[in-house]
Amino acid sequence: MSSPLVVVNFKTYASASAETAVKLVEAMERASVKGVTLVACVSAFDLSSTAEAASSVQVWSQHLDPVGLGGFTGWLEPTTAVARGAQGSLINHAEHKVEMDRVSALLEMLPEGFPVCACAADVDEARTLAALGPTFIAVEPPELIGGDVSVTTADPAIVSDTVAVVKSVNPNVRVLCGAGVKNGADVAKAIELGAEGVLLASGVTKAQDVDAVLADLLASF
């Protein structure tokens, strides 16, 4: 997966859950352009229905746990997620932090080539995650998540510094940025700072005109 990414985290927003999750994936399908990978990170409840609606859009789980089939009540078991359509996963999002050993254990048990985006709050956490070798690291200062100011404006250095640190530890790990990303200008600035894509949520999931927002986000590519 070498193309730039636009990853939309559906979280558990009413505008991106159950039937509305399917509609949002359909909008992402309409917006899809050659050369950019669009990713929908959906609730585990919505994996099957959104995967059925997707063709060019990738469907990822918002979280997975390093457990197997068996007595693990309430955990998100990876092989079932894959069977229900998950093509990748987030891990360690600011709203669902985990210990580093759980990230490592998950990466070891997933199928080869299964993409994982590990989220980092800062450069130091990104450095630690890079040593574990996820496919992607998304740097997202938690204080900016869900806000109106993009990280690319509020703290551009954290993006460029994360890119430099991650590449020095593991040049194969690709870096995304998120927190407050809302429009094409934010995406363009992220790419300028060295990121290879963006992770966003409310800018798309709460948009009044989703088609227009997606078109604007992808215009930079």
| Distance in angstroms (rounded) separating the CA atoms of residues 215 and 183 | 9
| Distance in angstroms (rounded) separating the CA atoms of residues 17 and 179 | 21
| Distance in angstroms (rounded) separating the CA atoms of residues 205 and 86 | 19
**Amino acid sitting at position 58:** Q
Residues with catalytic roles: 93, 140
- The dihedral built from the CA positions of residue 60, 61, 62 and 65, taken in this order, carries a sign that is negative
| Distance in angstroms (rounded) separating the CA atoms of residues 105 and 205 | 31
